[in-house]
Structure 1
């Protein structure tokens, strides 16, 4: 073979062995089994024939290089029982450079031998030398990784693939395959099996990560198919997630829950990042297996799951997890009664890992994510379903899920379930290790979202300022979906100089959003020249929203659309009509699933349907209107009556609802009657005609209702209704009184009291501290302002002429979930034993997080202390300071309290002027010195202890069990 042909082929190169024992990289070097490693320092006989080994040739790999044991101190068990001691690939010595590759150093020092020194040959020599260095460096690096695999337990995750190194995957896999080939020829079967198993698992994991990354990296805000996707990493704003308590059912309307949460300050609740959802919190004694995350619709539960999955797939978080399987309940619904093994179910949704045996999962860390429990239509009968612990047993999906969640099936797997609050009761509490809650955006996160979402920062700041000017809009921005709706509308409107009025009410915002999406539809489907088509489509969607709202469904299927006269063949038209309002998604087997972008938009379209139908005909057909809202035939109330009667019946319906399920529907229905919204409908080619109706009658009716005994939640919603009707008179009256200092309890009407509560709750100044002394010192005032106390952290109620009449209301504050009250000062009020006993029912509640309780000079006696001790025993961990000074509790009660100290978290106990005598001193000092406790400050001043008591307490301070720092 000629030299030129060698270079031309570019796959073979002839090298003669060097005198120093270096070897050609294309010629496999053979060590005889009797030959020492010192052969590198001896001269070898030159090869008699030029060897040309093709890179594709099997001869280039077989036989493998044989390494002899150089260090006689190496343990023989590295190589099994073979007579010849070969260095194990497991050993650090064999993998750590330069011992395995010390030959390479001499190779790199020698130029590649070529018989001519032409420029081309010289350039080729340089390239080959660099190639030689790179190949050896690459092999060293990969062998170190392989060594770490063989030295470790395979259940430990290997290092993640750095972003941007995907191009080298084929070469890395080739390195593993070469190592497997060599191990097999070396007859190292156990190492071969171990590396092969790892390689297979690694390959499946990479395929799954690649697939999940493609699914999760983009977010379609409010839409699954249409529109331009955004990269999640660019627009993602961290959500406010907290430890969520007991997971008990909250049946309140979700917007009511959001508004209630927005009034409460951010307390010392534990905040959790979505990637730390399985992280054990301080005080927890065992690892978490099942986590239930609750949150209202559109609050960001699914996006949190998406971020968790994307960060895992990209190697940024949770790399101790081997496999993550996110599943949607809406897709699981479609399987029906067909039976599956757990392995078959996983392979059905994740075809990338078909062939991988689920039995292997017992050895690995696996997370199943079940998103959208509230959309589940499976029975999930945890009590009646048969027990299943065999992953090869085929059962219904319902049985699979209940056994997986209970831990009967694959107990090593971690489970994450997301749900709206109303559906959380489907999971038994004993099956859940931790409940978390997605609270949406707090105030800083709202601003962060708009600045990320809108590139023009000046415009973003303008929009943030406008949103803050409307309290109802700002509260709704706790919901990320509403932030997106607001950004969509306001970005366009602020950019249009011809638009003079920017929406400030909820109804206006949703109406503009509907118009914006409808105009997009007209641009997309220019052949839809008939304006009635738009109106009819909106009415059809409104009817669907109306009927499904009555049934309590937010997810619907083709049969639900057909029931409302929507041709499923035109589904794309409907999703195009409202692009991001009405989503068309594809589940398992490509069966279509439908939903509105958010529950609030479903309620808006339902109200729009009623409103438009009313103006279309004064006598709606029974098919359209004779549809009851739960047990009340709302349609019949509307027939043959004025628009005021329609609004009146809707107000009554909302007030009769215990949970506020018609609150938002009512707001939209009233807002749609305003002339400004009627003008906007012309953009929709909807002619609703002119009405002589004035909103004055409706406003008066609502104010009359505010004058009755309503809960704070109902009153708040009625004030939001007045905002939609553009009436702010009550609020302005109260603000005038507050600013002038002329607020008088005798002058305020019941409606004005409700207005005062609304103003205080929605104030921008916040309510961390509520001081009753700034208002009126009486039980009646406290009871009327009780909703305000419920959302503050500190309540100063001292010297306010309160009696036992106020205590049940304060107990309800402590029992509320979540309770944010941390300090309660009731000093110098005549509460007596009976009042304190009522208060103790709140102290016993697991929701109570009170840290400071001041009851100085409140007329307490022995019975009060008995109730306090019992309450602190049942809920011992939170109260840090208790002040009972100037109450005649006596010796016995004092001993009860001191005896409780080792079992509770009290750090400060004040018993000044409490009728304690020297007879109690011996017991008190003995109790405080016998067991360690957290007490640091003890005030026993102004008690008749005499010298004996003082001496005993002086000796107490020297006791090692005593932590008291201040003794009075």
Structure 2
């Protein structure tokens, strides 16, 4: 009777401990099953019944259910095994079994990752060709810090300038190695979530491959047991609820036996998620529905959001890669480290040339050619474009053209170079016109690719499915694999193929080519029918327009006709040329944003177009976009072809630097109005402006609002103004100027300075009497027409700004109580601003941006 009570107490204990046992045993359930089989408590069938359950917690529950049927003796043995494990967690038989199997799977996984990452995939790799990663990989520059993650009009075109800035500021931003990504600089705060960002083609995926390659080769610098690699392109194919465990096993079935131990040991797990910007749900990942278990089903975005926010696998390390345009959608506050890939350094570009050409003499010669071309060298800092440039140079002896001067030149030559490289014998026959049928087939293939690129670009799509009509039309076409990447994913009972161009700019180029050589009408936006609200789409078609302009230029049109038999429509060529002339004239006369038209003119490389534009006034507005060296080149190209006075040059919010101002100094001397506000101008930059003021016979109006200038900078400007005494108005709102600095202007007002605007500076109510009597110096708002015009100018900028830029402006102009402004212009201005914010909130689809806009809406509604 006593023995029965003891046995009953074992079974009762198991029942009573059921809830805590699930938590306690989930990390060792597989090894526990092995012990129970060894002790003959469970049969092999029992073990299989438990092992087939979805997830470790479900397995524990199944074991406890089976024990109920086994009786008291089985429960007693189970409790004794559990007790042994708790007393000797690292010495028991279960851990020895686990360790052995765990190690075997760990090594197998490394072998798999090594095999998957050992080849370098270039855009024109021939089928079956193997290019070893170890022989072609060139180090990337990784910079620690949140360096410029704001959205740009086109990331690739702003990168060259960023690259130079990073080189100059290397001391301020710590350069790190891939092995250091999860190492804390101070050793205090643990690094668990790392965001790696960079423009398209900069090497984000190559960095991922480097980490997988090193880990697979047993490099010990990454202190993880397992790395799980996923791409958002693959995750896009999942349209039904799933769980993290299944996501791991989709491409890692070899982990099935130990997957639950791997996930339970999450402090030794690194999860790499590549290409967040390609995730179709990237704008809705800040979820409020969480999963906490690896085997819990949910939508992919909920699984991802739970992982990033630490609700799922809280001890796991996560590396996320993304282009800058999407980072604002990553759940707020979850990132421990921001890392920017800064591409290649000058030395690494040389290293890439050496590895590509595999001949030191040839590599040196080709590098000198690239270095002599500013555009080529700028692009070479981006790894993907460095490869394109090398590809062009390799084939240049056969192309017979001059050195490329524009982006379009490079891509046209790239197109021909890839065709030659991929099917040399056949392509040469086609390109030399020896086989008319083959040449026609080649042209047809290019046009079908162009149609696909155009249709999807207009729909904002970069991923195409095999069921799509335009993709199906490419079936059996030659050279398709040269320009389209294919991903094959398998689901139960179905195989899905997903295609994409290897680079967004390649898609934009093909789309422009199709538009140029077919009767496809120009997009509505290019016809000038887009509304102001539609014009704030972050330049979705900017690069497409530039490629189109370059393709219909006489030199590239002739080159394409000669090399590929593709002829641009003459009517469309002339129509486009007239459009450039018309738009340039209109923008110069109205002061509208002109930068993309300047790029289109630059791509044409035809001075007669600029000379044909005869605006009555020359107003050049390139504001509100961080300018790259290519942007400055396009601006200089146009203005150097014009003569006489530049009535207005607006460089507001362009990130202009001292070196850039020096570069365009001859143009500044021709300006009547020069607007340089919202740039961080140091003393060196201010000195360039002062040099212009000392010699210019034209400059009359100067704007330096919110440019971080203080008293010392103002004194330098005052000394320069006294030389020529031509400047009539100085706008410097929102700076650090004190009354002491303003006093230095007293002898310059009211002649020559009729107006000095110094609102929102370092002022107090106790202003000196001398300044109170200076009507020319405005330190407070008034009710005159000056401020009414100022309000209209600011509101016009707000109307055409993206939401991101609008928020930046609102931070500046909403730092004053509306109720303190009794002037009618102020009431009208802030009323219009409030309505604009409400309209933007109504159309906004981004939660984080909505929150920011609503904050300003509340301020203005007070």
TM-score (normalizing by structure 1): 0.55
Q: Deviations over 1:314-359 (max 9, x none)?
A: 133533111111101111122220423x223212221222111435
Asked whether the 8 Å contact 1:321–1:365 carries over to 2, the reply is yes
2:359 aligns with 456
Q: Deviations over 1:97-136 (max 9, x none)?
A: xxxxxxxxxxxxxxxxxxxxxxxxxxxxxxxxxxxxxxxx
Q: Deviations over 1:716-740 (max 9, x none)?
A: 6356334378989899xx99xx9xx
SS in 1 for 2:257: coil
Asked whether the 8 Å contact 1:771–1:797 carries over to 2, the reply is yes
1:601 aligns with 2:506: yes
Match of 1:665 among 544, 556, 566: 544
1:480 aligns with 383
Asked whether the 8 Å contact 2:262–2:269 carries over to 1, the reply is no
Q: Structure 1 residues 467 and 691 mapped into 2: Cα distance closer, same or farther (>3 Å)?
A: farther
Match of 1:323 among 211, 226, 246: 226
1:312 aligns with 215
Asked whether the 8 Å contact 1:583–1:595 carries over to 2, the reply is yes
Aligned counterparts of 1:489 and 1:652: Cα–Cα separation in 2 = 40
1:683 aligns with 2:566: no
1:348 aligns with 250
Q: Structure 2: 5+ residue runs without aligned partners?
A: 1-87, 430-434, 614-628, 695-699, 722-729, 747-756, 765-769, 772-862
Aligned counterparts of 1:191 and 1:371: Cα–Cα separation in 2 = 39
1:717 aligns with 599
Q: Deviations over 1:498-520 (max 9, x none)?
A: 83634443223222222233344
Q: Structure 1 residues 792 and 265 mapped into 2: Cα distance closer, same or farther (>3 Å)?
A: farther
SS in 2 for 1:292: strand
1:554 aligns with 462
1:435 aligns with 2:320: no
SS in 2 for 1:324: strand
SS in 2 for 1:437: strand
Match of 2:295 among 363, 383, 392: 392
1:366-381 equivalent positions in 2, closer than 5 A: 366-378=269-281, 381=284
Asked whether the 8 Å contact 1:768–1:793 carries over to 2, the reply is no
Asked whether the 8 Å contact 2:199–2:323 carries over to 1, the reply is yes
SS in 2 for 1:435: strand
Asked whether the 8 Å contact 2:509–2:547 carries over to 1, the reply is yes
How far apart are residue 400 of structure 1 and its match? 1.6
Aligned counterparts of 1:696 and 1:378: Cα–Cα separation in 2 = 40
Q: Structure 1 residues 460 and 653 mapped into 2: Cα distance closer, same or farther (>3 Å)?
A: farther
SS in 2 for 1:270: coil
Match of 1:425 among 303, 328, 331: 328
Q: Deviations over 1:469-508 (max 9, x none)?
A: 33333323232222212211211223x4x83634443223
Asked whether the 8 Å contact 2:662–2:688 carries over to 1, the reply is yes
Aligned counterparts of 1:773 and 1:583: Cα–Cα separation in 2 = 42
Asked whether the 8 Å contact 1:510–1:604 carries over to 2, the reply is yes
Aligned counterparts of 1:721 and 1:651: Cα–Cα separation in 2 = 23
Which stretch of structure 1 is more off in the superposition, 527-536 or 604-613? 527-536
Q: Structure 1 residues 783 and 777 mapped into 2: Cα distance closer, same or farther (>3 Å)?
A: closer
1:466 aligns with 2:362: no
Q: Structure 1: 5+ residue runs without aligned partners?
A: 1-186, 614-619, 638-648, 815-820, 844-853, 871-886, 889-968
Aligned counterparts of 1:868 and 1:282: Cα–Cα separation in 2 = 37
Q: Structure 1 residues 432 and 712 mapped into 2: Cα distance closer, same or farther (>3 Å)?
A: farther
Match of 1:540 among 445, 448, 455: 448
Aligned counterparts of 1:654 and 1:865: Cα–Cα separation in 2 = 30
How far apart are residue 606 of structure 1 and its match? 0.7
How far apart are residue 301 of structure 1 and its match? 0.8
Aligned counterparts of 1:726 and 1:429: Cα–Cα separation in 2 = 51
Q: Structure 1 residues 502 and 769 mapped into 2: Cα distance closer, same or farther (>3 Å)?
A: closer
1:447 aligns with 2:350: yes
Q: Deviations over 1:126-174 (max 9, x none)?
A: xxxxxxxxxxxxxxxxxxxxxxxxxxxxxxxxxxxxxxxxxxxxxxxxx
1:334 aligns with 237
Asked whether the 8 Å contact 2:152–2:158 carries over to 1, the reply is no
Q: Deviations over 1:362-399 (max 9, x none)?
A: 44421111101121124674455522212232333332
How far apart are residue 246 of structure 1 and its match? 7.6
Q: Structure 1 residues 404 and 565 mapped into 2: Cα distance closer, same or farther (>3 Å)?
A: closer
Asked whether the 8 Å contact 2:711–2:741 carries over to 1, the reply is no
TM-score (normalizing by structure 2): 0.61
How far apart are residue 750 of structure 1 and its match? 5.3
1:302 aligns with 2:205: yes
How far apart are residue 299 of structure 1 and its match? 1.6
Asked whether the 8 Å contact 1:289–1:414 carries over to 2, the reply is yes
Aligned counterparts of 1:829 and 1:822: Cα–Cα separation in 2 = 11
Match of 2:735 among 832, 839, 842: 839
SS in 1 for 2:289: coil
Asked whether the 8 Å contact 2:445–2:474 carries over to 1, the reply is no
SS in 2 for 1:415: strand
1:493 aligns with 2:421: no
Aligned counterparts of 2:311 and 2:689: Cα–Cα separation in 1 = 55
2:674 aligns with 783
1:221 aligns with 122
1:248-267 equivalent positions in 2, closer than 5 A: 249-262=150-163, 264=165, 266-267=167-168
Asked whether the 8 Å contact 1:706–1:750 carries over to 2, the reply is no
Task: Tell which structure's C-alpha radius of gyration is larger.
Answer: 1
Q: Deviations over 1:806-863 (max 9, x none)?
A: 997452x56xxxxxx99984434459xx97761149x9xxxxxxxxxx9798569xx9
1:576-615 equivalent positions in 2, closer than 5 A: 576-589=478-491, 590-613=495-518
1:567 aligns with 473
2:823 aligns with none
Q: Structure 1 residues 712 and 522 mapped into 2: Cα distance closer, same or farther (>3 Å)?
A: same
1:635-784 equivalent positions in 2, closer than 5 A: 637=527, 656=535, 659-677=538-556, 678-688=558-568, 697=578, 700-701=581-582, 704=585, 707-708=588-589, 709=591, 713-714=595-596, 717-718=599-600, 720-723=602-605, 747-749=644-646, 768=659, 783-784=674-675
Aligned counterparts of 1:328 and 1:555: Cα–Cα separation in 2 = 13
SS in 1 for 2:311: coil
Aligned counterparts of 1:400 and 1:437: Cα–Cα separation in 2 = 26
Asked whether the 8 Å contact 1:670–1:724 carries over to 2, the reply is no
SS in 1 for 2:115: helix
Asked whether the 8 Å contact 1:795–1:823 carries over to 2, the reply is no
SS in 2 for 1:261: helix
2:56 aligns with none
How far apart are residue 587 of structure 1 and its match? 3.3
2:28 aligns with none
How far apart are residue 700 of structure 1 and its match? 4.5
Asked whether the 8 Å contact 2:676–2:704 carries over to 1, the reply is no
2:102 aligns with 201
Higher relative contact order (CA 8 A, sep 6+): 2
The alignment's C-alpha RMSD in Å is: 5.1
Asked whether the 8 Å contact 1:827–1:857 carries over to 2, the reply is no
Aligned residues: 617
Aligned counterparts of 2:159 and 2:712: Cα–Cα separation in 1 = 25
How far apart are residue 461 of structure 1 and its match? 2.7
How far apart are residue 539 of structure 1 and its match? 1.6
1:63 aligns with none
Q: Structure 1 residues 420 and 427 mapped into 2: Cα distance closer, same or farther (>3 Å)?
A: same
Asked whether the 8 Å contact 1:654–1:663 carries over to 2, the reply is no
Asked whether the 8 Å contact 2:276–2:320 carries over to 1, the reply is yes
How far apart are residue 277 of structure 1 and its match? 5.5
